[in-house]
Amino acid sequence: MLKQQELEETYKILIVSPEVSPFAKTGGLADVAGSLPKALAMLGNDVRVVLPRYRGINNVTTIADFPVWVDWRKCTAILRQSQIRAKLDEVEKLVPVYLIDNYQYFDRDRLYGFFDEAERFSFFSRAVLEMLKVINFQPDIIHCNDWQTGPIPLLLKDQYSRDPFYAQIATLFTIHNLQYQGNFPRDCLKLLGLDDSYFRPERLEFYGDMSFMKAGLLYADVINTVSKTYAQEIQTPERGERMDGVLRSRAKDLYGIVNGINYHEFNPETDPRIYRNYGLNNLSEKKENKYELQKEMSLPVSDVPVIGIVSRLVAQKGLDLISEALDAIVASGVQLVILGTGEDYYENLLRDAQARHPDRVGVYIGFNAVLAQRIYAGSDMYLMPSLFEPCGLGQLISLRYGTIPIVRATGGLADTIKDYDPRTESGNGFTFKDYSSGQLLLALKRALDVYRQPERWLRLMQSAMRSDFSWNKSAVEYMGVYMAARSKHGMVAAATV
């Protein structure tokens, strides 16, 4: 997309995200918002990050406070600061991280899921724009992520752009998961200082509600999602979550860029969280990780194939297929290790499976970043039969640890995992298309056939570990999209003069 020499142009970038690793994480968005800025910094950009300061985020410096209007109320934003360290070979860069605090909105026991979400993220969205003057940072690009940041492009365009300080700032809105849209009752418009004229289908009205996601999709200069296939899928009624019409109307400005992972953090040679470090040259050590994992999960220590799953326990992740196929998976002679948290129904279903197959199924309900790494390292295969998947990180982390993904070919899974062909030995995993437990079991059977041929399996592990899903390529693609946003903004600004 972008040639290397064009990188001579660098940008001032503000990345806005409701969660950023290592400060706050519920899913893949945090990984992306924590690792993309490092890669962008390494390309020479002045990149900064902002998120809410939730309870439990410590070691921050307080740098300012300022007022933020939410409807008729003048609230206080306390601005705190921290940093992310980016390191590449001998070069080290520090990415400033701003944290917007307000005790009423963010000092709570979890990140999301409250009655006043519209109010919390109206406050946050406006506070981000107000913050820019306080820290005197005029970005070329504000890169917004997911519905919580959707109002920012709208506020910028309709309320701030007459101020020369804000006039040149272009926006990108990234969809990490279209299912979570931030749709709220009509009177929430007031929280953003918007009148009823915004309650129209061509603006924020969305099936009787107003939608934060729609604000981002309509008002950002350009939009993207986290894989090319998902970018196509969300333009169809089947996967468009009722936003497909809006997305089709912006098809020319809609890009797909697959996520990367941080190859320094996710490195089996140095990862301090796994039991035994290993790499391409001493892959036999991977086995030790398997045995220790079996012990930790109270499973018999043995050489049977271990299949790992690390996932939010929601329908999107294919839990219904897993549940349907579980007894047959177990009967095929493998052990299943599952780490996850989510809906009670699926949590109970997995606890029940463990009770029925105590020697075959190990389940840990909860969020545990250390155990997650131990599963990626200690499993032979990684199962991800998602109903839909914007990008997916689990399969990318697995590849890095030589753990072979078995995935349903949808969204980012289709873009990153190529089906193994026994004739040419090409491919880096096993894929199936139909959302059916029969298809899942067939893919598993093909994987087990190869697993039983140790030399072939070793070559497959090696080629999985050699595939490159670091940020190198995707960060350069983001630079291309930032450039597109800037030229679009220039065009739009010129057209409205």
CB nearer ligand ADP, residue 339 or residue 476: 339
Q: Least distance from C-beta 401 to ligand ADP, angstroms?
A: 11
- Our CB check for ligand ADP shows the closer of 255 and 346 to be 346
CB of 382 to ligand ADP, least distance (A): 10
Q: Which residues contact 468 (CB under 8 A, 6 or more apart)?
A: none
Q: Look up tokens 């289908």; give the residue.
A: 201
- Structure tokens belonging to residue 169: 């700032």
Determine the Cα–Cα distance for residues 481 and 205; give it in Å rounded to an integer. 28
- Closer Cβ to ligand ADP, 31 or 477, answer by number: 31
Please state the closest distance from residue 29 (CB atom) to ligand ADP, in A.
Answer: 6
Q: In the complex, which residue's CB is closest to ligand ADP? A: 28
Nearer to ligand ADP, 65 or 292 (CB): 292
In this complex, which beta carbon is closest to ligand ADP, that of residue 56 or of residue 201? 56
Give the nearest distance from C-beta 27 to ligand ADP in angstroms: 3
For the record, the structure tokens of 127 come out as 């506070």
* Sequence-separated (6 or more) residues with CB below 8 Å from residue 191: 70, 71, 118, 119, 122, 123
Nearer of residues 48 and 374 to ligand ADP, judged by Cβ: 374
Residue with tokens 């997911």: 146
Q: How far is the CB of 184 from ligand ADP (least distance, A)?
A: 22
Strand partners of residue 408: 432
Nearer to ligand ADP, 391 or 461 (CB): 391
H or E element, residue 15: strand 12-16
What is the bridge-based pairing of β-strands 12-16 and 73-88? unpaired
Residue in the block written with tokens 């697959």: 258
To the nearest whole angstrom, how small is the minimum distance from the Cβ of residue 200 to ligand ADP?
32
Which CB sits closer to ligand ADP, 29 or 220?
A: 29
- Judged by beta carbon, residue 258 or residue 391, the one nearer ligand ADP is 391
Of residues 97 and 339, the one with the C-beta less far from ligand ADP = 339
The CB-of-225 to ligand ADP minimum distance in angstroms stands at 12
CB 316 → ligand ADP: shortest distance, Å?
A: 7
Beta carbons within 10 angstroms of residue 200's beta carbon? 9
We find the least distance from the C-beta atom of residue 57 to ligand ADP, in angstroms, to be 18
User: CB-based burial of residue 81 (10 Å sphere; 0-12 exposed, 13-18 middle, 19+ buried)?
Assistant: middle
Least distance from ligand ADP to the Cβ atom of residue 421, Å: 25
CB of 26 to ligand ADP, least distance (A): 7
Helix, coil or strand: residue 70 = strand
> Residue 370: exposed, middle, or buried by beta-carbon count in 10 A (0-12, 13-18, 19+)?
exposed
At residue 80, the 3 state secondary structure works out as: strand
> Do 101 and 78 meet the contact criterion of CB atoms below 8 Å apart?
yes
3-state secondary structure of 55: coil
| Closest CB to ligand ADP among residues 391, 479 | 391
Which stretches of 380-453 are DSSP H helices?
394-400, 411-416, 437-451
Please state, in angstroms and as integers, the Cα–Cα distance from residue 123 to each residue in 71, 119, 133, 375, following that order.
Answer: 9, 6, 16, 39
Q: What secondary structure letter does DSSP report for 198?
A: G
- Which residues fall within 8 angstroms of residue 249, CB to CB, at 6 or more apart? none
Minimum CB distance to ligand ADP, residue 341 (Å): 5
- Binding footprint of ligand ADP on the chain (CB under 6 A): 27-29, 31, 310-312, 339-341, 367-369, 372, 391-394
Q: DSSP assignment of 174-197, as one string?
A: EES-TT---EE-GGGGGGGT--GG
Write down how long the chain is: 497
* Angle CA 47–18–161, to nearest 5: 60
Q: Which residues pair with 211 in a beta bridge?
A: 183
| Cβ 217 to ligand ADP shortest distance, Å | 19
- Closest to 126 measured CA to CA, from 150, 95, 162, 97: 150
- Give which of 411, 387, 404, 395 is closest to 446, Cα–Cα: 404
Q: Please identify, using beta-carbon distances, which residue of 29 and 51 lies nearer to ligand ADP.
A: 29
For 263, the token pair is: 């190859």
